[in-house]
Amino acid sequence: MTAALRTVELVALIWARPDLLTPFVLEELSVRSAHSAPTATPPADSASPTDAANVLDPRTARTRQCEPAETPRQSEPHRVRPGRKPSSVLAALRVRNYRFYVGSMALTSTCGWAARVVQDWLVLELSGSAALVGLTVALQFAPMLLFGLFGGVLADRYDRRRILTITQSLFGLFTLVLGVLTVIGVVQVWHVLLAAFAGGMTIVVDNPARQAFLHEIAGPEHLRRAISLNTSVFQLGALIGPAFAAGLIALVGNGWAFIANSIACGVAAWFIFSMRRSQMYPAPRVPRAKGQLRAGLQHVRHRPEILWTCVLVGFVALTGVNMATVLAAYADEVVQIGASGYGLLTSTLALGAITGAMLAGRARRLRLRTLVLGAVVLGLLQLVAAAVGSVWLFLVVLYLMGMTCLLYLTRSNTMVQTNADPAMRGRVLSLYVLINMGAQAASGLIIGAVIELGGAHWGLAACAAGPLLGAVVVGIILARRGHLRPVLRRADLHAGRWHAPGVRLDFEPRSGLAHVA
């Protein structure tokens, strides 16, 4: 009878307080199994059975007064137990706050992309002007290019959890107003343009705060895995969001699609607000003072790991990341399978990107030479894709391109986050995002001009120019500054049970050691 009551109480406790399931409930279960098994001496590093029993059933504490009581445990950030190494990128989901963050990110990414599509479609319906659609897109992203660095200053100065709660609420408010105006039939083009600009100004603060906040909720132990999973969620949102928007427009119309997005933003704001401060890794807040933006730029200048990562990502993003223009031309001119072919190409690229993001968290050591090599591989794959004639072979190379591109971008983000000073992280990440987005904005114009002059094959070949040129420039600078010379070393290539001899490019010091490269 006592055992039955204990079981009922245990189930009730798990239902009411699921956060106690680890480690207290699991240890209580191990205590019970120990009572049913032959008596054994508990490990020295295990918690006392008394602690678990007292938490689960306070009445049993009276029968164990001979044992000393412990001070109540304080809630602390999640840490991996010694000797247990997470086996996959999903290990970051063990952190409660990060689970809430992923839920928020999934909603904002999917519904954010959907809202952009609905917004552009509404402008086209109201005006019939493609130029006004382009202006809508420009108003969404121009504020980040103009004021992005100041958003990083705010992300360092104020509480990032509060910033994200406010920005998500604002996103929901803007789309709610647009939805109501559309449903009642009084919406005009200037309403949409104003909402696009207001959303762009909100992104100025939201983007650096969101990226810097990742370190506070995942901690240094899970940071790489958290960045990889975060990138995967973003790519899924970019893939699902437009299709979700098309379905909403067809089923309920533009207005209700905006209202659905506002509800999703409200839920995302609740996820952020519900995070536990006691389980965070708080970053120091920077008091208001003059010269903080300049101090952030000087910090990047004096950190070679950050400086050359930003320079290289600028080269890569200038031509090698934004593939939408070239894939549209490729589907029309080369593959010749129309809109369905374009969907197939973008889906293949996105699938490779998700694979690359999941693999990026497995890297245990990250150096600048890894990023240089990644840029070289990406450029070479783009050259191979430009020369391939078979559609199916092109899809295979396209999948590898997506995987390599996201491996590179995720590792670049990780390099910046792990080397930035906690008090400077917002400003550093705002510069990184500014360079990345600015280069991608110019990419469409550059690749589009090449396609107009030489066709889709030359456009895809031109995509390789940025990664390869950046790898050469940054590689030479690092080699000269570190007094290094390139060498080929023997290496074993492994893929599951298969292995073969091979070679790898490495650098060795001519005099002394170079920790930067």
Distance CA 396, CA 146 (A): 38
Average pLDDT over residues 101-108: 87
Question: Does residue 318 have a pLDDT over 60?
Answer: yes
Q: Which residue has the tokens 């132990």?
A: 221
Q: Which residues of 96-124 are buried (b: 16+ CB within 10 A; e: fewer)?
A: bbbebbbbbbbbbbbbbbbbbbbbbbbbe
Average pLDDT over residues 239-244: 73
Question: Does residue 83 have a pLDDT over 70?
Answer: no
Bridge partners, 509 (sequence order): 484
Residue 240 amino acid letter: I
Question: Does residue 214 have a pLDDT over 50?
Answer: yes
pLDDT of residue 157: 87
The CB-based long-range contact list for 441-449 (8 Å cut-off, 24+ gap) reads 441/141, 441/145, 442/318, 443/317, 443/318, 443/319, 443/321, 443/322, 443/325, 444/322, 444/324, 444/325, 446/318, 446/319, 447/319, 447/322, 447/325, 447/326, 448/325
Could you read off the pLDDT of 334-383 as tens digits, one per residue? 766 655 677 788 778 888 887 887 777 666 677 888 899 999 999 999 99
Q: Which CATH superfamily is domain 292-484 in?
A: MFS general substrate transporter like domains (1.20.1250.20)
Could you read off the pLDDT of 426-477 as tens digits, one per residue? 888 888 888 888 887 788 778 878 888 888 889 889 999 999 999 999 988 8
pLDDT band at 127 (very low <50, low <70, confident <90, very high): confident
Question: Does residue 166 have a pLDDT over 90?
Answer: yes
pLDDT band at 60 (very low <50, low <70, confident <90, very high): very low
Fold topology of 91-283: Growth Hormone; Chain: A; (1.20.1250)
Distance CA 263, CA 110 (A): 13
Average pLDDT over residues 180-209: 90
Residue with the bigger pLDDT between 195 and 215: it is 195
Where, residue-wise, is CATH 1.20.1250.20 in the chain?
91-283, 292-484
Which residues lie below 8 Å from residue 82, measured CB to CB, with a gap of 6+?
45
- Find the Cα–Cα–Cα–Cα dihedral 327, 328, 331, 334, rounded to 10°: -80
Q: Are 268 and 379 in contact (CB under 8 A)?
A: no
Biggest CA-to-CA distance, the chain? 87
Question: Does residue 135 have a pLDDT over 50?
Answer: yes
Residue 108 amino acid letter: T
Question: Does residue 408 have a pLDDT over 80?
Answer: yes
Q: Where does residue 308 rank: exposed (0-12), middle (13-18), buried (19+ CB within 10 A)?
A: buried
347 C-beta neighbours (distance < 10 Å), count: 15
